[in-house]
């Protein structure tokens, strides 16, 4: 008699990338991470990536034009609406990846306020060469600063993917 394979509904991990205004760093990281997950057979369909900011100053805006241009050159999605991280949003996350130490502090405070189970980590801690370092904010800088931000995110992505695989 052939062995039947049981199929269980796979859990969906929710990852949120956090920066200050949610128009530069976190949308870049969100889209790059989303693209990496789409190419990973172990993670595709099992991880949902979003982003938010710790500030409401850009709420409702699209991503910064340089962020959008960088992603468009890579053939990736550029649609985005900035939002502020709230305790309600934090409560829905499994992992919050913060761009810098200030966002890390604020993210942890929101997770505590939400009595959430989300783990909050610094994005560059997923890159063994950059542990403890902030992801520089390219806002107001020339296009090469946005490319440097993307390169730093891309260096952290293998570590993020490995951490996600370990959670599933």
Q: State whether residue 91 is helix, strand or coil.
A: helix
Classify 13 as helix, strand or coil: strand
- Cβ count within 10 A of residue 52: 25
Residue 11, pLDDT score: 81
Radius of gyration of the chain (CA): 16
pLDDT at residue 5, as a whole number: 40
Q: What is the pTM of this model?
A: 0.93
Q: CA-CA distance, 168 to 150, in Å (whole number)?
A: 26
Could you report the per-residue pLDDT of 76-133, keeping only the tens digit for each? 999 999 999 999 999 999 999 999 999 999 999 999 998 888 999 999 999 999 999 9
Q: Work out whether strand 47-53 and strand 13-19 pair parallel, antiparallel, or are unpaired.
A: parallel
Average confidence score pLDDT of the chain: 94
Per-residue model confidence as pLDDT tens digits over 73-91: 999 999 999 999 999 999 9
- Of all residues in the chain, the percent with pLDDT exceeding 90 is 91
Handedness of CA 127, 23, 56, 15 (dihedral sign): negative
Catalytic residue set: 19, 25, 137
């Amino acid at each position: 008699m052939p062995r039947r394979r049981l199929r269980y509904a796979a859990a969906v991990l929710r990852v949120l990338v956090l920066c200050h205004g949610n128009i530069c760093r976190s949308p870049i990281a969100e889209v790059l991470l989303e693209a990496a997950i789409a190419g990973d057979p172990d993670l595709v369909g099992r991880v949902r990536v979003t982003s938010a900011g710790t500030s409401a100053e850009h709420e409702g805006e699209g991503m910064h034009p340089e962020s959008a241009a960088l992603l468009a050159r890579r053939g990736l999605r550029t649609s985005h609406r900035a939002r502020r991280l709230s305790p309600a949003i934090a409560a829905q996350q499994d992992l919050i990846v913060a761009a810098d130490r200030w966002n890390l502090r604020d993210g942890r405070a929101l997770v505590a306020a939400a009595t959430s189970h989300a783990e909050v980590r610094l994005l560059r801690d997923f890159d063994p060469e950059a542990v403890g370092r902030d992801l520089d904010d390219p806002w107001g800088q020339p296009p090469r600063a946005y490319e440097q931000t993307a390169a730093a995110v891309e260096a952290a992505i293998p570590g993020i993917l490995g951490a996600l695989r370990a959670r599933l």
